[in-house]
Amino acid sequence: MYEQGVIRPPSEANSLLIRVTRNCPWNQCIFCPAYKGTKFSRRSVEEIIKDIDAMAEEYGSYSFITSVFLQDADSLLLKTDDLLAIFTYIKQKFPAVERITSYARATTIKRKSVEELIKLKEAGLTRIHVGMESGSLTVLKMVKKGITPDDIIAAGTRVIEAGISLSEYIMPGIGGKTLSEEHARETARLLNIIKPDFIRVRTFAMHPLSPMQKMVQEGTFIPMTDEEIVAEIKLIVTNLNEMHSYFSCADFSLNLLMHVDGYLDEKKTVMIAELDKFLSLSPEQKKAYILIRRSSFMHYPVEVVLDEQVMREILPQIEKLEKTGDNGFNKYIQHLMSYQLPQPQTDNWV
């Protein structure tokens, strides 16, 4: 009856999903499997209106539909007038809608003036989700992100100036061991300039089909362990100003410490203390906690591994994994994490 895309932000779980573009216009990032094997296309306003009609027929003008998320990866590529027409029609069919949100690339946002963004806000666009990933130009080039730090700053500040809520997504671990410090410091530097409403943490995990696997084999990319990624997150948080931005690990299961969450101007010290709590564990306790977390979608407090009975039960499992080969424990953890990622629609990921 109507089209829907493959992904949406966790924070949009209760939103009505309206597909205005198909797939991703860039689709060259070597870490992202979501749209591999697909072609990008814009949908016409007429197509989208037909879908909205079908949704209205199915759901009616129910008052519980208060938010809409526009799919797929870069909906703001549509002309501003087309987006305004779509927003107007959404509100006609679903008058209870209070929020309209979308993904967008930094380079796309840059093409729209602040005045255009304000018009979109007045028509109902309340939040834009942007995949920043890293503030380091070296890292951005390595993963073929197709944007620069200047693009990220220009787009982010433009959204904030227009009064639209901004979620910036960052990816601890994406620089590997070699670029970890540069990635952390430059990411914090850009965020301090932009001051987004939300900083959403997306711990890096490598898909088995990613070209980055070849980089690992060649030694040009050295994956980080969970412990090293937690230390990198601490470096990011430490270098962030105490601004009124919400730093969130809670909405993504690949984040090891999902309880590191809160406004920087209120909980920065608390979040650093929680990160330190994990980093201060013994090597055995760290591995035990990592194995417990990665073997389940449940979140557990760090204190779980202070229980001697828990440690007695899990240490033999860790020893078994370490005997499976060189770096056996960490390879097993990376394997568990990789299969929580979206699946590409092709085996030929190029």
Question: How is 180-241 classified by DSSP, letter by letter?
Answer: HHHHHHHHHHHHHHH--SEEEE------TTSTHHHHHHHTS--PPPHHHHHHHHHHHHHHS-
How many Cβ atoms sit within 10 Å of the Cβ of residue 96? 12
Q: What pLDDT digit, counting tens, does each position of 174-225 carry?
A: 999 999 999 999 999 999 999 999 999 999 999 988 999 999 999 999 999 9
Rounded CA separation 163/119 (Å):
11
The predicted model gives 85-97 an average pLDDT of 95
Which ranges of the chain does DSSP label H, i.e. alpha helix? Answer: 45-59, 80-93, 106-110, 114-123, 137-142, 149-161, 180-194, 212-218, 226-239, 264-279, 283-294, 308-322, 328-338
Omega of the bond leading into 276 within 30 degrees of 0 (cis): no
Q: Indicate whether 93 pLDDT > 70.
A: yes
How many Cβ atoms sit within 10 Å of the Cβ of residue 91? 16
Look up the CATH number of the domain holding residue 28: 3.80.30.20
Q: What pLDDT digit, counting tens, does each position of 117-165 carry?
A: 999 999 999 999 999 999 999 999 999 999 999 999 999 999 999 999 9
Task: Tell me the whole-structure pTM to 2 decimals.
Answer: 0.96
Residue 350 counted as domain residue: no
Is residue 349 helix, strand or coil? coil
Cα 326 to chain centroid distance, Å, stands at 31
The answer to whether 240 and 192 are in contact (CB under 8 A) is yes
Residue 330 counted as domain residue: yes
Residue 347 counted as domain residue: no
Residue 311 Cα distances to 31, 194, 286, 304, angstroms: 34, 43, 11, 9
Q: Indicate whether 21 pLDDT > 90.
A: yes
Which residues span the domain enclosing 30? 10-338
Give me the sign of the Cα torsion angle 32, 325, 318, 320.
positive
Among left, alpha and beta (phi > 0; psi -120 to 50; other), residue 311 is alpha
Q: What pLDDT digit, counting tens, does each position of 243-288 carry?
A: 999 999 999 999 999 999 999 999 999 999 999 999 999 999 999 9
**Residue 219, Cβ density class (10 Å: 0-12 exposed, 13-18 middle, ≥19 buried):** exposed
Output the furthest CA–CA distance in the chain (Å, rounded).
Answer: 63
